[in-house]
Amino acid sequence: MFNWENVLSYMNGGGPVPPRRVEKSLVEWKKILTSEQFYVTRQKGTERPHTGELCSFYEPGKYACVCCSTELFDSSLKFDSGTGWPSFSEPVADDVIQYESDTTYGQRVEVLCNICDAHLGHVFPDGPPPTGVRFCINSESLKFVE
Ligand SMILES: [Zn+2]
């Protein structure tokens, strides 16, 4: 069962080995992303809460990385955290997410796509059972796949 201990051990231990890698220059990413997607995923931006279109969207399906199309989250593990950002209790697979220490505003754990290094959001130890983990993800970094 995925839990907060997994997050901390991945953050401190270098993280899971990615199943594949997608690497592009910032110039190349800029060509294929909208300015909002580029700002969030490549410049570690944060969209304003309650503005993302996937925030109150609960159709069944998967959520893929907007940059490299790798499936990252599943609608069955999405929940309404009330924060204004799409929230998930677990990724679809351990090896698609990378965890980095972020001390910009106190101690937080940044979440990135393990395949292309896109900034996704942050993860917190206050999610609902059974994982107790809350992935707080920007809508701009995800695309819905039916
Ligand atoms: Zn990606």
The rounded Å distance from CA 106 to ligand 1 centre is 26
What's the 55 CA to ligand 1 centre distance in angstroms? 19
Q: Strand 134-137's sheet: what is its strand order?
A: 78-79, 87-88, 134-137, 119-124, 108-113, 97-102
Residue 81 CA to ligand 1 centre (angstroms): 24
What is the predicted pLDDT for the residue at 15?
A: 86
Instruction: Give pLDDT tens digits for 60-111.
Output: 999 999 999 999 999 999 999 999 999 999 999 999 999 999 999 899 999 9
pTM: 0.96
Asked if 114 contacts 97 with a C-beta cutoff of 8 angstroms, the reply is yes
Q: Quick one: tokens of 138?
A: 């920007």
Half-sphere exposure of 32 (CA within 13 A, CB side): 12
Tell me how far the alpha carbon of residue 66 lies from the centroid of ligand 1, in angstroms: 7
Q: 146 pLDDT band (50/70/90 cuts)?
A: confident
- 111 in Cβ contact with 15 (< 8 Å): no
Q: Which residues have CB under 8 Å from 1's CB, separation 6+?
A: 130, 131
Residue 59 in contact with residue 74, Cβ under 8 Å? no
Mean pLDDT over all residues of the chain? 96
**Residues in contact with 16: Cβ distance below 8 Å, sequence separation at least 6, in sequence order:** 10, 94, 95, 97, 98, 114
Catalytic residue among 65, 68, 113, 136: 136
CA atoms in the 13 A half-sphere facing the CB of 48: 1
The angle subtended at Cα 95 by Cα 92 and Cα 96, nearest 5°, is 60
Check pLDDT > 90 for residue 55: no
68 is catalytic: no
Question: What band does 53 get if pLDDT is binned at 50, 70 and 90?
Answer: confident
Residue 56 pLDDT > 90, yes or no? Answer: no
Q: What percentage of the chain exceeds 90 in pLDDT?
A: 92
